[in-house]
Structure formats: C-alpha cells, structure tokens
Amino acid sequence: MPFRDYNDAGYSKSLMGSCFWELGKYDSAAMAHKESISLRRSGGNISGQADSWKKIGELYLLSGLKKDALTAYDSSATLYQQIKDSSGMAETYNKKGKVFLNDENYKVAVDYFEKAKGIISKTTVESLYNLGIAWAELDTSKARFYYSACKEKSGSTGNLGYLFLANKALAGLAYKSGASQLGDKLFDECVAISKQLKTSASTANYLVLKADKYYYQAQPDSALFYYNEAFEIFDTVSKDDAIWQLDNISNTQVSLGNFAEAAVALKRAIEIAKSTSNNLALGYSLQASSFLYGLTGEFEEGIKNSDSAIAIFNRSGNMLRLANTYVARGTLLKSMGEYNRSINSFLFADSIYQAELTKEYRHTALNNIGVTYYSQNDFQNALKYFDMALKQLKQGIIDETYLLYKGNYAECEYYLKRYKEAETTYQEVFPLAKEKKLNRIASGMALGLGKLFYETNRLSEAVEYFQYARDYAVSSGEKEKIVESLTYLGRINVQNVKYDSAEGNFRKAISVAAEFKTVGGWESYYELGLLLFNYKKYDSSIIYLKHAVDLLNKDAENLYGGDEAKKVFNNDPRKSDLYNKITFAYYNTGNEKEAWAYANRSNIAGLKELSGSLTTNASDKDKSEALKKLLSLQQSKKALENTAEKQTGDARQRTVKKIEILEADYTDLSSYFAKSNADQFYNYKSKIPNDVAVALYLVNDKTLMIFTLTNEKLAIDTMTADISKTVSAFIAATKQVQNTTGTAALHLRSEPTDEDETTVKIPFKDLSSEL
C-alpha cells in the first residue's frame, strides 16, 4: 500500500476513534486510535502518530487513568520532539499538567504548565487558565494573577469561552475570601457572557458559582438549591459534569447532617460514572460513600466500596486520590473498632502524601490518627496528633476543618480533666459551627460539652447539649452519637431518680449498638446491667454485663500499640467494676461456681496487663516455666531499651537489633498466653493439700466478699463494712514503699496514670492485720 494510502487509512481510523468516543464506546475508541498509529507508522507520518497518541492520552485523561494517560502523552511528546513541533510539545505538557490536576497534585501540575508556557513565546489563554487552576490550591494571589491575565487576553482576542471561565474562577476566589461585593460584580459579568454564549453548560456553570457563594457564606440550604438546579442541566448536556455536581450535593448534605440524602446522591453519581467509564469520578464517589457508610454504621457496604475505590486508584496510578481513599478507609475502620488497622491506613496515606511531596495534605491523616487514639482512650497521644494537624492548617482561616480539629482537641482536654481549658475551647468553636450550620461537627461538640457539664455536675446544661446531639444524630443517622447521647441521658435519669426513663434510654442505645455494632456500645450494656443489678434483677443484669465484657474484649483485640495501649485502654474504673458486679450477681443468684470464676477473671485481667495474656490452658509446670520466661524477656527488653537510650552510632544499632530479636520471642510467647479460662481454677480444688485453703477477697461498694476454696468445697461469705479508708491508707503506703523492701510501687489498673504528678513520700506502716 502506498504511503499516502496508509496515511489516509490512518486518518480515517483516527476519525472513527473520535466517533466511537462520542458514542460512549471507549474501548473501541482507544483501539481505533491505536490502529491509526500503526497505519501512520507504516506511512512514515510522525506528526499523525503524535496526534493519535495525544488523542489516546485524552481518552485516558477523561477516564481518569493517570498511568495510561502519561504513557500516551510521553509517546506523543517524543514524536513531536523528533519533528521539532514546539506547539505540539507545549500542548502535550499542558495535557500532562491536567493529568496531575486530576490527581490533585497541584505542584507537579504547575511545573508542567510552566514548561508549556516556556516552550512557545506566545502564551495561550488555556495555559494561563490552567496555571490559575493549579495555583488556586497553593497560592491564591498567584491564581488571581493568572486568572486575571487569562481574562484580559480572552477579552482582547474575543475568546468568550475562556473569558467566562476566567470570570467564574475570579468570582469563586472572591466569594471564598469573603469579598462578596467583588464576587457579585464578577458573577453578573458571568451571566452577561453566558447570554452571549447561549449554551446550557455556561448557564449550569454560573448556577454552580451561585451555589458556591452560598456554601462559602455558610448558607448550605441555598447552596443545595442551586447545586440541584445546575445538576438538572448538566444531566442533559454533560454526564461527567453531572457526576461532580452530585458529589457537591452529597458533600453539602453531609455538612447539614442529612446522610440519607447524601447517600442517594452518591449512589446516582456511582451509577453515572460506571455508565460513562469515568474512573476518576467513580473512585471518588466510592471513596466518599465509604466514609458516609462509616458514619451511618453500614460497615459491610463501606468496606466493599472502599476496596473498589482502592482498586481503581491503584490501577489508574492516581496516588493522591489513593491516599485520600485510605484516609476514608481508616475512618471507617475506626468506627468498626478496628483501631490497629485504622491507624495503619492513616499511616499509609501519610506516607503517600510525603512521597508525593504534598505535605500540605498531611493534616487530614494526622487528625484521624488522633481520633483513633482517642477512641482507644489514649488521650495524650490523641492530643499530640490533633496539635500536629492544627499546625499543618493555613493560619487564620476559620473553616469546617479548623472547627472540627479544635473540637477534637477540646474533647481530649475534657478527658484529661482540663475542664476549664476544654470549656473555653468548646465555647470558642461551638457557636461558629452552629452559625455556619455545620450540624455534623456541631453535634459532636454538643456531645463534648454535655459530657463536660455532666462531669462537673451541671446536669441541666448537660441535658440540653445531650438532647441537641441526640436530635441531630437521629436525623442524620450517626449511630455512634445516638448511642453515646442516649447513654448519657440515661445516666442523668438515674441521678434524677427517673429509673424508667433511664432504662428506656439505655435500651434504645443498646438497640442501635447491637444493630450497627458501634464502638463504645459496651457502655450502654454496662449501664443497663448496673441499673438492673441495683433493682436486684440479677439474672437480667448478668446478661447485659457479660455482653459488655465481650464487647470490651473485642475492642481490646484491635488496639494500636500493643500491651501499652491495652493498659491505657483498660484505665477505666467501670471496666474493673464489670467483673465485680457479675461476681456479686452470680453470688446473689446462688451460683457460687460462676461467682468464683468471675472473681478470678478480674484477677487475671490485672495479670494480663503485667505479663501479657496469662492462661490456664496448659499444664501447671508449662505455665510456670512460660511465665518465668515471659517475665525474664520483659526485664531483658527493658534493660536493653535503657542501654539504647544512652548509646549512639553502631553500638546503638546493635542494641536495637537485640531488642528486635527479644520482641520476636516475646510475641511468640505471648501467643502462648492467648486466652483465659478462669473456670479451671475451680477444678484444681482436688489438688489443694488438706492443710491449705485458697482465699480471695473482692470489694463491691460497701460489701466485702470472701472466697475460701479447699480440696473439699468452695465457700463464700459476705460482710457489710466500709473498708475504703483502710484500703486507701494501704494503697497510699504501698505506692511509696521504702527502698529497703526491694519491691516496686503499687499501681492500680482501675485508676489513670498521671505521669506529671509527683507523689508525696509516705512512711510505711504495716496495715495487713487490719484487712
């Protein structure tokens, strides 16, 4: 076939590719353009090949396939370079910049747009507009400069399309910065240009601008109206633009706390994105829905959509989109109580932000790491990460993100008993959140304020805030907030002697916690069990208290931070009280064997914190040897860690390696102590010598329970006695033992550890005879 025929055939195939694209047959379009390249190669048409590669790149760009698009544009650029086509080279660089814009990597996008501008002496309106888009997320003053230059050049050349886009972008910057008067002036210009353009797309775009205005002015209801108006138009003229409007609608609905409506918008966006092969929009919509499902407790759906979004962005190579998806996944896993997997997801996202040199995005991952530490009761670490996140934000901007992070910070201050500081922070940000109608974060702040007032015995104020949080949580479908607000309202009912109302609130909370498996659900089970215990309904109380134990054990399995995290997580008097209440409930029903078993579970829980997970599932000899080895490993590890702190260089590296070897042994041995079976203690009674009795003391409020086990029988006696003062004196003495005793100070697992508190030396006094 002559060269001319090859080129004509190649041109025809290229036209076919464009037609297939317009028909939505995207695979056929790509195939036609690849066949065009082959034909043009045979015809020696380098320019035609470059053009076809550029069109293939455009297909992948619009589909959101970053890696494939960059490969196609690189091929196009190489060919343009061969024939010294500077205009083609500049256009290719502009397209590569758009690929990075799609991945929200604005710094790299700027580099490519600048390269395009530098290749040709005549700057185009497109290149100026692209530079404005890229700089808008980095430096608004530079963005304003380029948009203004684009507007001026478009006006002088009569390019109405870019004149409209530049005006719209400048108006958006004005509204975002609070310059409403300037924004309105530019908006009016957009409307006038749109009338000249006479296109539906320009009409829809100025409606989006009007929606953005109301969104920035914290009028989400009005914003929602215009986003919907714009969507109705885009749905008929541009399905791709319609998807992004649905995402705008969903984001606004989430801010309003309307989660059901947000889910409807996202489902529609996902359907359209699938039908148009828009991978970028599909991945984003799936990611957004996985975050939403975490808020509504629909975890299975959330994980499924998260997996799909990760697969899409892994395949397409959109790394920052992938990082954002891992942030959403971490939030979902946190809501599921999977704390270890949650923090690992956030750390993975953070590593991508750093690898892509986009540290300005790190605040999202850092804040969410803090939220996860908070969820596992590690408030010191949570505070550290919230502080890091706040420092990453642009200073002086009071937006939804800033208010959210400050609210998180205040809640940690509350849990660390810094009540004055917490209230000051809350009162700074809560009114702003309400004023801006940011209902999702405002309801979280209301919960925090309610807990603060509950703890400081300002119950009437606490009720007001808990009811506010409950009502918004119920309307929005935020399951964790529903459970928490109802549980606290029930506690206040108990204090106000409104036991029927208390039971009603606890049962409602349990119903939601059971259906959606929310984190923190154990508290509602514990409170109802405690209420029934005080009613002397011991059989019923046992059911709820044991369920609380099961939920706590499940949460403890998924903590991030190993044994130290478990110690912090268990630092709650109610968690140790659970075993006591179950023990006494069994005793009161006449079930002494189960009472004995749960009394021992309480002791085992304490031993677990000191020496890993102690079990009774092996022989006595095996247990003894394993426990000795475990304690020895712990001591060796601690000694090596102390040594490493004082070393530098190669010496320190050698010591760290020894620690790693010990940690591996420790992990293997800890798995040997995997479960507790306190029931076996009862079965050992036949092995107790005739002259030996095992005694166990347990205190529940003002009742002392005394267990005695001999090889013949188990006996339990109780006595009413307020021994709290004597026990307190004993604890105070054993916390500050004399050095000559050779023993360590006592640490109670039921009380928080204040690392900054300095204790007073108390002279040792033998109090054992008084107990």
Question: 48-62, 194-208, 254-268, 515-529: which has the highest mean pLDDT?
Answer: 194-208
Higher pLDDT, 56 or 566: 56
Higher pLDDT, residue 444 or 683: 444
For the ranges 271-280, 537-546, 731-740, the one whose mean pLDDT is highest? 537-546
Residue 605 has pLDDT above 70, yes or no: no
What integer is the mean pLDDT of 257-263? Answer: 89
Distances in Å between the Cα of 67 and the Cα atoms of 18, 72, 96, 366, 730 are: 21, 9, 11, 28, 68
How many percent of the chain have pLDDT more than 70?
A: 81
Q: With 0-12 CB in 10 A as exposed, 13-18 as middle and 19+ as buried, what is 309?
A: buried
**Residues 108-118, mean pLDDT to the nearest whole number:** 90
Question: Which residue, among 166, 183, 265, has the nearest Cα to 217 in the 3D structure?
Answer: 183
Written as one letter, the residue type at 134 is A
What integer pLDDT is reported at residue 741 of this predicted model?
A: 54
**C-alpha to C-alpha distance for 728 and 733, rounded to whole angstroms:** 9
What is the token pair recorded at 320?
């920052």
14: CATH:
1.25.40.10
**Nearest C-alpha neighbor of 343 from the set 381, 379, 382, 369:** 369
What pTM value is reported for the model?
Answer: 0.64
Res 411 pLDDT > 90? yes
Give pLDDT, residue 296.
83
DSSP assignment string, 190-205:
HHHHHHHHT-HHHHHH
Sequence-distant (6+) residues with CB within 8 A of 502 are 490, 491, 493, 494, 527, 531
Q: Are 325 and 306 in contact (CB under 8 A)?
A: yes
Residue 716's SS3 state is strand
In this prediction, residue 600 carries a pLDDT of 76
Q: Count of domains in the chain?
A: 3
Higher pLDDT, 749 or 9: 9
Which range (210-214, 215-219, 315-319, 463-467) has the least confidence? Answer: 215-219
The CATH number assigned to the domain holding 424 equals 1.25.40
**pLDDT mean over 155-173:** 96
pLDDT band with cut points at 50, 70 and 90 for residue 169: very high
Nearest to 408 by CA among 306, 334, 326, 301: 334
In this predicted structure, what is the pLDDT of residue 444? 92
Instruction: Write down the pLDDT at residue 503.
Output: 97
Contact 678, 600 (CB under 8 A): yes
Average pLDDT over residues 691-710: 75
Interatomic CA distance for residues 127 and 150, integer angstroms? 8
490, part of any domain: no
* Bridge partners of residue 698, in order along the sequence: 705
Q: Is residue 422 part of a domain?
A: yes
Domain annotation covers residue 630: yes
* Beta strand pairing call for 714-720 and 694-700: unpaired
The rounded distance, in Å, linking the Cα atoms of 414 and 422 is 5
Return the pLDDT at 121.
Answer: 61
Amino acid occupying residue 269: A
Q: For residues 412, 416, 421 and 423, what is the CA-based torsion angle, rounded to 10 degrees?
A: 70
Distance, CA of 569 to CA of 331 (rounded, Å): 19
- The pLDDT, as a whole number, for residue 146 is 95
Mean pLDDT, the chain, integer: 83
Residue 611 lies in a domain: no
Q: Give the per-residue pLDDT at 703.
A: 77
Q: For residue 761, name the pLDDT band (cuts at 50, 70, 90).
A: very low
Q: What is the pLDDT of residue 693?
A: 75
Q: Which helix (H) or strand (E) holds 708?
A: strand 703-709
Tell the burial category of 589 from Cβ atoms under 10 Å away from its Cβ (0-12, 13-18, 19+): middle
595 versus 365: the higher-pLDDT residue is 365
Structure tokens at 328: 């959403």
Percent of the chain with pLDDT over 90: 49
| Whole-angstrom distance, CA of residue 40 vs CA of residue 83 | 15
Alpha-carbon dihedral sign for residues 726, 698, 523, 341: positive
Please say which residue of 78, 93, 120 terminates a domain: 120
The span from the first CA to the last CA of the chain, in angstroms, equals 107
Q: Which of 674, 692, 711 is the last residue of a domain?
A: 674
Residue 87 lies in a domain: yes
Contact residues for 712 (Cβ-Cβ < 8 A; gap 6+): 685
Confidence of residue 405 (pLDDT cuts 50, 70, 90): very high
Phi, psi of 699 (to 5 degrees): -110, 130
Per residue in 270-300, pLDDT (tens digit) is 999 999 888 999 999 999 999 899 888 889 9
Position 94 in a domain: yes
DSSP for 10-62, written as a single string: HHHHHHHHHHHHHTT-HHHHHHHHHHHHHHHHHTT-HHHHHHHHHHHHHHHHH
What DSSP designation does 266 have?
H
Copy the structure tokens of residue 628: 């000795």
* pLDDT tier at 238, thresholds 50, 70, 90: very high
Confidence at 675, pLDDT banded by 50, 70, 90: very low
Q: How many CB atoms lie within 10 A of CB 574?
A: 15
Give residue 570's Cα distance to chain centre: 22
Would residue 532 count as lying in a domain? no
C-alpha to C-alpha distance for 529 and 550, rounded to whole angstroms:
14
- DSSP secondary structure, 270-335, as one string: HHHHHHHT-HHHHHHHHHHHHHHHHHHT-HHHHHHHHHHHHHHHHHHT-HHHHHHHHHHHHHHHHH
Least confident of 312-326, 504-518, 530-544, 741-755: 741-755
Last residue of a domain, one of 654, 674, 694: 674
Pick 541 or 646 by higher pLDDT: 541
When mean pLDDT is compared over 9-13, 89-93, 117-121, 453-457, the highest value belongs to 453-457
pLDDT bin (cut points 50, 70, 90) of residue 578 is confident
d(Cα 80, Cα 54) in Å, to the nearest integer? 10
The domain in which residue 632 lies consists of: 618-674
Residue 82 maps to a domain: yes
Query: What does DSSP assign to residue 687?
Result: G
In the numeric block, the tokens 């210009």 are attached to 189
Residue 377 has pLDDT above 90, yes or no: no
Greater pLDDT, 279 or 738: 279
